[in-house]
Amino acid sequence: MAAAEAAGPPGGGCPAAGGGSVPVLFCFSVFARPSTVPHGAGYELLIQKFLSLYGDQIDMHRKFVVQLFAEEWSQYIDLPKGFLVSERCKVRLVPLQIQMTTLGNLTPSSTVFFCCDMQERFRPAIKYFGDIISVGQRLLQGARLLGIPVIVTEQYPKGLGSTVQEIDLTGAKLVLPKTKFSMVLPEVEAALAEIPGVRSVVLFGVETHVCIQQTALELIGRGLEVHIVADATSSRSMMDRMFALECYSVLQNLRNEHYASSQRQRRGVKLKNHCPISLTYFLTFFSGILMTLPSSVKSTYINQQLCTKIL
């Protein structure tokens, strides 16, 4: 768990010698539990106490800020820099708000384009390959005009050839060979880390149910919004393409529902028949899609016919 910058650095985790203990009320969510800490305890000891009191309820993947109740203001304030406990007080642990972006709300400064495996050897095998080349050309032209970074991968280019000549890669930030399904290579992760404020990825290429799907899932798992361009992606089989896009739509709905449910839970609303959803699902291999979901989610969100096709 990381603390927000507003809380400042630790104000000395070690208590002053011979100071005794001080009563502190530790508040988290709707709960409040009294305890004691050594006189002179700082930020680190307060965090440890929060973990000992509420560890099973704290989401360790989120960021938090510690706040102190200030009598003179009659409200909580961010823990002052260098704060040390010297008298009876009340503190609380507050999760930072997650700002959910609206799908479709793309801005050039926070967007990256991913062009996946648009290679010569796939031309005769992929349905409507000429059409997705045409759309891909326009996407890359737009990226150049708007100054949007472009990352390109090629699946085993020694055997499958390079990106087709019609696709102009002028100005691409990266053009990388790969031998796995996902585009999320170490070099790609490093490139994304260099782009300040990146939030969205526009993804296109082949094949929809393999490399496109796996790339989308890994990017979503890293907290990015992923936009698959439907008319710029295809597979050898239109059935594979259709179900890959359908599954992606289902996953996005589950992701949004999971976030909304989590928010309701944090406000103390009890949910019935709700099963927590992981943001990462594994859909794999060449001839279909394998999707693993809790049984309650399958029955709620996916009809029996779709489950039969997928599983």
Instruction: Give dist(CA 120, CA 140) in Å, integer.
Output: 18
pTM (2 decimals)? 0.53
What is the distance between the alpha carbons of residues 281 and 221, in angstroms, rounded to a whole number?
Answer: 9
How many angstroms separate the Cα of 138 from the Cα of each of 5, 135, 274, 285?
42, 5, 43, 30
Condensed to tens digits (0 to 9), the pLDDT of residues 26-59 reads 999 889 999 999 999 999 999 999 999 998 888 7
pLDDT tens per residue across span 127-173: 999 999 999 999 999 999 999 999 999 999 999 999 999 999 999 99
| Residue 122 in this model has a pLDDT that exceeds 80 | yes
Residue 290 is predicted with a pLDDT of 31
CA 170 to chain centre: 30
162-220 confidence digits (pLDDT tens): 999 999 999 999 999 999 999 999 999 999 999 988 999 999 999 999 999 999 989 98
Report how far Cα 21 is from the mean position of its chain's Cα atoms: 42
**Dihedral angle computed from the Cα positions of residues 215, 218, 219 and 220, in that order, rounded to the nearest 10 degrees:** 120
In which band, very low, low, confident or very high, does the pLDDT at 264 lie, cut at 50, 70 and 90?
very low
Write down the pLDDT at residue 99: 53
Name the nearest CA neighbour of 93 among 64, 55, 54: 64
Condensed to tens digits (0 to 9), the pLDDT of residues 172-181 reads 999 999 999 9
Average confidence score pLDDT of the chain: 78
Catalytic positions: 117, 178, 211
Confidence of residue 249 (pLDDT cuts 50, 70, 90): confident
Is 62:94 a contact under the CB 8 Å cutoff?
no
What are the helix (H) ranges across the chain? 43-54, 129-146, 157-160, 186-194, 213-221, 238-266, 295-301, 304-310
d(CA 190, CA 172): 15
Residues 247, 241: Cα–Cα separation, whole Å = 10
Q: What is the mean pLDDT of residues 243-266?
A: 62
Indicate the pLDDT class of residue 64, thresholds 50, 70 and 90: confident
Mean pLDDT of the region 280-287: 28
